[in-house]
Amino acid sequence: MSDTINLTYDVPGDDFTRAGEASSDVKGVLKKLGLSPQVVRKVAIAMYEGEINMVIHGGGGQITVEVTPDAVTMRLADHGPGIRDISLAMQEGWSTAPEEVRNLGFGAGMGLPNMKKYSDEMEVISEVGVGTTVNMKVYVA
Amino acid sequence: MTVSDIARILKAEVLCEGDSMEAEVHTACGSDMMSDVLAYVKDQSVLLTGLVNSQVVRTAEMMDMVCIVFVRGKRPDEQILSLARQRGIAVLSTPYRMFTACGLLYDNGLKGGCETDV
C-alpha cells in the first residue's frame, strides 16, 4: 500500500438506524487493505462513536477519511449545536443526551472518552451554534 | 465453548447462524448500553443484551464479535437480522433474563475478558 486513499461520507442526521454505515464501510476497506485487526478495530470504534454522536447530537454532517501507509486520519464535521465546554464533554459519564437516546443504548457520556481512548491523536474543535469537528488519527505502524 | 454450546445452554432459538455455529468463544459481555460495550475491548466474542435495535449489530460488528444473544425472549425484526446475516454474526434469543443468562454461561466456563473480571 503506497498510495493515499481518500474516502468521504455524508452522514444523515435523522436516521438512527443508518448510523454506523460509514464506519462499517471504512472497516471493510481497511480490512481489504490488509491493516492489522487491532488497527482496524481502533479506527472502527473511534469513528463509530463519532458517527453516532453526529446523528444524536449534530444533526448529521460529513466524514472524510485519509489512509496513508503511516496512519488513518478521520475528520468528522457536523453543523449541530456545538459543545459549550469541551473538557466537561471529555469526562466519562458526562452527557447532554436526552432520555430517548439513552434508551437506544447511547448517551452514557462515553462517546468522546472512547474516541480519545481508541485514537492516537484527537482534536475537538467546536463553536456553539456553528458545529463541531473532531479530528482523529490512528497510527498504522 | 462454541456458539452452538451457547444456544444449548441458554435454551436459545437460533435466529441467524452467522459464519459458523462452531466458532470458539472464550469471553462475553452483557449490557444494554452500547457505549459501555465499546469502552472495553478485550476480544469479547459474545454480546448479551436486552436492547433491540440495529446499533446492537453495528456495535458487535465494530468489536469483531461473532454472536449476539437477546435476553428475555426478545426478537429483533427482519431488518436487524438481515444486517447480522450480512456481517456473519450469529443471533440467538434466549428466554432467560440477563442475570441468569450471564450466570449460566459463566458457570459453563465463559469469562468476562476484562482485567477487572478475571
Query: What are B63-89's pLDDT values in tens digits?
Result: 999 999 999 999 999 999 999 999 999
Residue A1: pLDDT over 60: no
Instruction: Report residue B87 as a C-alpha cell.
Output: 456481517
Task: Calculate ∠ Cα A31-A32-A35, nearest 5°.
Answer: 50
Q: Is the pLDDT assigned to residue B115 strictly greater than 60?
A: no
Where do the structural domains in chain A lie, given as residue ranges?
5-139
Cα B26 to Cα A77, A121, B3, B20, B33: the distances in Å are 38, 32, 10, 15, 21
- Among A16, A21, A23, A24, most B C-beta atoms within 10 A, so best to mutate, is A24
Name every residue whose Cβ is closer than 8 Å to that of residue A82 and which is 6 or more positions away in sequence: A126, A127, A128, A129, A130, A131, A132
pLDDT of B114 higher than 90: no
pLDDT single digits (tens) A84-118? 999 999 999 999 988 888 888 998 899 999 999 99
* Residue A141 in this model has a pLDDT that exceeds 50: yes
Give the tens place of pLDDT for each residue, B27-51: 999 999 998 899 887 777 999 999 9
Residues of B in contact with A109 (CB under 8 A): 35
Please answer yes or no on whether B53 and A108 come within 8 Å at the CB atom: no
Residue of A nearest to B42 (CA): A38
Which three-class secondary structure state does DSSP give residue B87?
Answer: helix
Query: Which of A114, A116, A119, A138 is the best substitution to test chain B (most B C-beta atoms within 10 A)?
Result: A114
CATH of A5-139, one of 3.40.50.2300, 3.40.50.1260, 3.30.2000.10, 3.30.565.10: 3.30.565.10
Return the bridge partners of B46, or none.
B28, B67
Distance from CA of B68 to the nearest CA of A (A): 15
Burial zone of A53 (CB within 10 Å; 0-12 exposed, 13-18 middle, 19+ buried): buried
The residues, any chain, with a CB within 8 Å of residue A141's CB and separated by 6 or more, are A69, A70
Say whether pLDDT at B116 is over 90.
no
ipTM of model? 0.91
- pLDDT-wise least confident of A70-79, A125-134, B31-40: B31-40
Q: How confident is the model at residue A36 (pLDDT cuts 50, 70, 90)?
A: very high
> Residue A29, Cα to own-chain centre: how many angstroms?
16
Tell me, what's the pLDDT at A3? 83
| Among candidates A16, A27, A108 on the partner chain, residue whose Cβ is nearest the Cβ of B62 | A27
**Cβ atoms of residues A93 and A113 within 8 Å:** no
DSSP A83-130: -S-HHHHTSTT-----HHHHTTT--SS-HHHHHHHH-SEEEEEEETTT
Q: Do the Cβ atoms of A24 and B36 come within 8 Å?
A: no
Q: Per the CB < 8 Å rule, is B39 touching A52?
A: no
pLDDT score, position B118: 47
Q: Whose grid coordinates read 462454541?
A: B2
B82 in A contact zone (CB under 8 Å): no
Q: Which domains does chain B have, with CATH numbers?
A: 3-109 (3.40.1390.20)
| Interface size between A and B, measured as CB pairs under 8 A | 72
Helix (H, G, I), strand (E, B) or coil at A135: strand
List, in sequence order, every residue forming a beta bridge with A8; answer none if it has no partner: A64
pLDDT > 70? residue B26:
yes
